[in-house]
Structure 1
Amino acid sequence: MNRIYGLLLGALLMVGAAGCGTEAQLEAAEPEPFTSASEQDLSDYIITEEEEGEQEHVPYNEDWNYITTLELMRVLDGQETTSQDRNSYDDVPPEWSGVALIDARPREVFAAGHINGAVNIPDSEFDSLTDMLPEDKETMLIFYCGGLHCPLSGSSAEKAMELGYDNSYVYQEGTPAWKQAGNYFTVDESYVEEKIMESYVAREDTEPVLLIDARTYEGYFNAHIPTAVFWDDTQYDVKYTGFAPENKEAEIIVYCGGFFCHKSHELAESLLGDGYTNVKVFAGGMPAWKQAGLPVFGMESGGEEFDVSAGKVDRSVSADEFDDLVQKGSTVIDVRGESETASGMIDGAIHIPDGDIHANDPGVEEKLPDDKKDTLVIHCASGARAAGVVEKIADLGYEEVYYLNGPISISSDGSYSLD
């Protein structure tokens, strides 16, 4: 049952914290009792650079399964980063196969930064939120909290095992190790709202936050979160690196079109690769922001209309128009990534990742129809990536080229649904 604990114990020994030098010492230590969410000191669970050794680690429990940071990264690497069918942060991504990630920390801390795809079941509220657990008790449940000293993940995992979830694991290294391994965190709309309020922005003792909208420029122009700036994720390396903060520890929050949109996650990865250490993704994006009734800037907020394309051909099509073009036999171009197309593609579609198109790969044109008069219709998952490459395809001489301006979900049999 503790097959992975050896790796975790190695991590504990390398840390060299007081009272954690041997397994005997670990077993001798007693975890600090915790109280209700309203009485808790949340500082232990905030995602910050923690000074290990100042607090006692939770003692090893031979009845628990443990999972390390490396193991967790491998597990999540096999799951979808985004979700076509996830509607809120309370939902385990339906695309995830056989695993659920559970954040056992208080709600306010979860909102301020959690591992992407996790659901929040605070340990103090576990008994009243068991309906959030998967129906299948064979599901691998992974519980985490604020690090080696945090007792909440182990407490919740034990409660889950008592309910029959024998495949429960404790990620005891938690959020500090996850961040140290070079990963970003996900936040919700309440956290973003806090960062744009005057009570935060106007204070002298707060650090500036860079809020980035990674959707299409047309979408940004019509409606965006106040204080957000527009960055095209596909042009980061060639256009926006010079505008990134000089301070690599600056807080950066990226969002796009919702749980199904890859653009914010891809830009976050680019920023991490460039050395930024405090990157977060607002995964719910504009849909979650609007659903919460929060304010937007742009033409939409004033009830006005403006053709930001300056008269250029409108190549966007609605769901009904897309379906009509497909039924008429138009050539479908799928610009999603390899991991996305692996789960299904429209029958007869041509797969050309948008990155190849942006890179002007000469092999792109070879995959396209020889007849430049053919009608092409491009799609991704949300419409953003397709919008970003449609003009590049048109520049190759295809006049009848359009893109689906909206989400699409494709099954393994090639059937699709448009939301």
Structure 2
Amino acid sequence: MKALVFKLLALFVIVSVAQSQELKVIKFPEAKKLFENKEALFLDARAEKLYKRGTILGSLNLPVNRFQKSIAFLPNDKNAKVVSFCNGFKCEKSDELAHLLQKAGYTNVLVYKGGYPEWKEKSMPLMALKTESDEPKVEESKGEKYQVKGTTIYLGQDKGMIDQFWFEKVVLENLPKNIQLVDIRKEKDFKEGHIKGAINAPWDSKNEKIDLSQISDDKIIVFYCNTGMQSAEAALSLKNRVGKDVFYFDANVTCNKNNCKVEANENL
């Protein structure tokens, strides 16, 4: 009898955990309705840098790695509707944030997978810090010149960043031979399309690890992803190498097979 009771209790726990992990995903029409009726708090799961460049009007920035420090800004009412969003359909940070919200006791968690890119595309209300794009358009000058491992590169404005405007012009056609591009997305995303010459080394964001064993020591390493967000995380995790021989590319990269479009992100 006791054994049966324990089995039932174990089954109940497993079912309860599984149910708590289920996420309710909403599409643009529902997100728009919640926004216009002021029925939910929108939470931007992206890094602060992307949040500052542009986000859904009135949203709060709550990156996964700052969740515990920022939980005090969340509603006291655990039944309040909250909408987690990120950088589009392939961005998983909104899911990660939603799971953390559920674990914290929030019962009305929604995930808007279209996120900021779709919201912007639909010409919905946005907010952002003033960026260089608000000024008259000028040709971007290259960043500081830096020589490493027999190759000259140009540095971006932040630690570990390769100059995104220079790199945008060379990455598809004239990539220096001593640079190894590393696509840090999941294997399935890499197989769907990636920049020619890149290798795949998926970034393990939970454990903050990346396997670079397949890369020669005489190469400069440049990480990229879809938006620059996770590549920055991966590069900065390698504290002893970032900015020395490990860099990240701060850009939006979209690929269909090996046909890729690259657009450098603006400086703040």
Structure 2 equivalent of residue 6 of structure 1: none
Relative CO higher for 1 or 2, CA cutoff 8 Å, sep ≥ 6? 2
Task: Confirm or deny that 1:229 pairs with 2:60.
Answer: yes
Structure 2 equivalent of residue 417 of structure 1: 260
Measured after TM superposition, the shift of residue 416 of structure 1 is 5.1
| Residue-by-residue CA offset, 1:241-290 (whole Å, 9 max, x unaligned) | 45444443321111222223232233223333444332212222222222
| Residue-by-residue CA offset, 1:361-387 (whole Å, 9 max, x unaligned) | 4x757666535xx42211223332113
Structure 2 equivalent of residue 299 of structure 1: 129
Quick one: which of 193, 196, 203 aligns to 1:353? Answer: 203
Find the aligned partners of 1:291 and 1:350 in 2 and give their Cα distance: 30
Change over 3 Å in CA distance of 1:239–1:331 after alignment to 2 = farther
Q: SS where residue 211 of structure 1 aligns? A: strand
Q: SS where residue 376 of structure 1 aligns? A: strand
Change over 3 Å in CA distance of 1:213–1:322 after alignment to 2 = farther
| Residue-by-residue CA offset, 1:334-386 (whole Å, 9 max, x unaligned) | 32235545667665625141416xx454x757666535xx4221122333211
Q: Note the 1:193-272 alignment, pairs <5 A.
A: 193-197=32-36, 200-201=37-38, 209-233=40-64, 235-236=65-66, 238-272=68-102
Q: Note the 1:309-388 alignment, pairs <5 A.
A: 312-313=158-159, 314-315=161-162, 317=164, 319-324=168-173, 326=175, 328-341=177-190, 349-355=199-205, 359-361=207-209, 364=211, 369-371=216-218, 374-388=219-233
Tell which deviates more after alignment, 295-304 or 214-223. Answer: 295-304
Change over 3 Å in CA distance of 1:280–1:303 after alignment to 2 = same
| Residue-by-residue CA offset, 1:22-43 (whole Å, 9 max, x unaligned) | xxxxxxxxxxxxxxxxxxxxxx
Task: Confirm or deny that 1:391 pairs with 2:261.
Answer: no
Q: SS where residue 267 of structure 1 aligns? A: helix
Change over 3 Å in CA distance of 1:284–1:386 after alignment to 2 = same
Structure 1 equivalent of residue 252 of structure 2: 406
Find the aligned partners of 1:322 and 1:184 in 2 and give their Cα distance: 37
Q: Conserved in 2, the CA contact under 8 Å of 1:214 and 1:263? A: yes
Q: SS where residue 323 of structure 1 aligns? A: coil
Q: SS where residue 192 of structure 1 aligns? A: helix
Unpaired segments of 5 or more residues in structure 2?
1-14, 136-155, 263-268
Tell which deviates more after alignment, 269-278 or 343-352. Answer: 343-352
The amino acid that maps onto 2:233 is G
Change over 3 Å in CA distance of 1:381–1:312 after alignment to 2 = closer
Change over 3 Å in CA distance of 1:293–1:381 after alignment to 2 = closer
Dislocated runs of 4+, deviation >6 Å: none
Q: Conserved in 2, the CA contact under 8 Å of 1:390 and 1:402? A: yes
Change over 3 Å in CA distance of 1:348–1:223 after alignment to 2 = closer
Structure 2 equivalent of residue 192 of structure 1: 31
Find the aligned partners of 2:63 and 2:42 in 1 and give their Cα distance: 13
Find the aligned partners of 1:322 and 1:239 in 2 and give their Cα distance: 37
Task: Confirm or deny that 1:283 pairs with 2:113.
Answer: yes
Q: Conserved in 1, the CA contact under 8 Å of 2:228 and 2:248? A: no
Unpaired segments of 5 or more residues in structure 1?
1-69, 71-178
Structure 2 equivalent of residue 67 of structure 1: none
Change over 3 Å in CA distance of 1:303–1:396 after alignment to 2 = closer
Identity in percent: 22
| Residue-by-residue CA offset, 1:279-319 (whole Å, 9 max, x unaligned) | 212222222222222221113599646xxxx9535536365
Measured after TM superposition, the shift of residue 237 of structure 1 is 5.1
What RMSD in Å do the two structures reach over aligned CA positions?
3.8
| Residue-by-residue CA offset, 1:153-209 (whole Å, 9 max, x unaligned) | xxxxxxxxxxxxxxxxxxxxxxxxxx9574222223443344344xx44xxxx6xx3
